[in-house]
Amino acid sequence: MLPESAADRVRDGDRVAGVAEGPARVLLHASCVELWDAGVVLLGPSGSGKSDLAVRLIDDGARLVSDDGLLVERRGDSLFGSAPEAIAGLLEVRGLGIMRVDQRPSSRLGLAVTLGVQPSRLPEPATFELLGIALPRIELDARTPSACAKIRLALVAKRIE
């Protein structure tokens, strides 16, 4: 969904030279929804289920921030995500095409979710570090029926160490 020239240069978690780089900004190949005032960043390779999981979260009350490309900006001790202008309000839905949906222009990021990996049964606490700030991070299989519930639980529950 990103313009081809930008998509070719986007890498998960890497700075993108010449696209959205600056002292406190980076462009990620990621989707993001806002749930309970927290931005949830969905990270993973193409085909890992980012957009499909975003659709399910939106169906359950979340709002789209961005699909397939996320501008992340550091403001003080927080990270905020927004959509690149060219894809703002657009969501790719496999089998339906590109749809225009209600969107949040920006969201304070609160959780990173890595998709496309086999999650551990009892994982150690993990973080996703970006622009000098660490977000809590979980790993999920986006295709499991419990994926949305696990994201909601990760946002509100206290983990027992």
Q: Which are the catalytic amino acids?
A: 29, 50, 68, 121
Give the Cα separation of 104 and 156 in Å (integer).
21
Give the Cα separation of 84 and 112 in Å (integer).
19
CB-count burial class (<10 Å; 0-12, 13-18, 19+) for 124: exposed
Amino acid type, 123: P
